[in-house]
Amino acid sequence: MNSATFHPSPNCDARPEGADVALVVIHAISLPPERFGGAGVEQLFTNRLDPLEHPYYADIHHLRVSAHYFIRRTGELICFVAPSNRAWHAGVSAWRGRERCNDFSVGIELEGCDSLPFEPAQYEVLADLLDELCERFPVQGITGHSDIAPGRKTDPGPYFSWGRLRRLLAENGRADVLARIEPEGAPNADDGALMRWPFPLAVRPG
């Protein structure tokens, strides 16, 4: 069982009547971009981001967004919205022809970016969390934000190794969870070996 710290976000509401949790969406975020370990993500998801602290924050501080979970580089797990409620993570999106993925999905943010590998501890915590969510909800699919909002979102990005996640789930004896993962990925892939997205990596200032 994962022990998550709960930092309640006001950016959530009830799921529509009859909406099951059918989908888990994997994201990546870092604030400021490509900086790890700070308080920016918690501040964004609780509407406390200071627009004066970083130029990027001035552009996004007004957003009202959240995710259910955030997994830090250390493997620390933070819960912002109970998975039974609707968090605001997916935006304009569609999965298997169903729009508004927030209605029927759980969103998990990994602390990361499009240009660096993720940490082994993050995969471990993610695999355990997926296991729990699949026990608790009728999850049918596990996919990336870029897969439900193509052309608009790139996360979790080319350095997220679906193969590594698949291998962990297989090692943990969770073939049932593994079967719900939709993106391709070789089971023996190392971090960074997978470049599912052929887009050029943007070099961001700061």
How wide is the angle at C-alpha 5 spanned by C-alphas 4 and 10, nearest 5°? 115
Q: State which residue, 45 or 167, has the beta carbon closest to Zn ion.
A: 45
Annotated catalytic residue within 109, 124, 135, 182: 109
- Least distance (Å) between residue 155 CB and Zn ion: 4
Please indicate whether residue 99 is annotated as part of the active site: no
Q: How far apart are the first and last CA of the chain?
A: 38
The radius of gyration computed from the CA coordinates of the chain, to the nearest angstrom, equals 16
- What span, in angstroms and rounded, lies between the C-alpha atoms of 37 and 35? 7
The H or E element containing residue 83 is none
Our CB check for Zn ion shows the closer of 72 and 167 to be: 72
Nearest distance, CB of residue 137 and Zn ion, angstroms = 20
The residue among 33 and 187 lying less far from Zn ion, judged by its C-beta, is 33
132 backbone φψ class: left, alpha, beta (φ>0; ψ -120 to 50): alpha
CB of 43 to Zn ion, least distance (A): 17
Binding residues (CB under 5 A) for Zn ion: these are 27, 145, 155
Which C-beta is closer to Zn ion: that of 145 or that of 180? 145
CA angle 159, 162, 166 (to 5 degrees): 145
Question: Minimal distance in Å, beta carbon 79 to Zn ion?
Answer: 17
| Catalytic center residues | 109
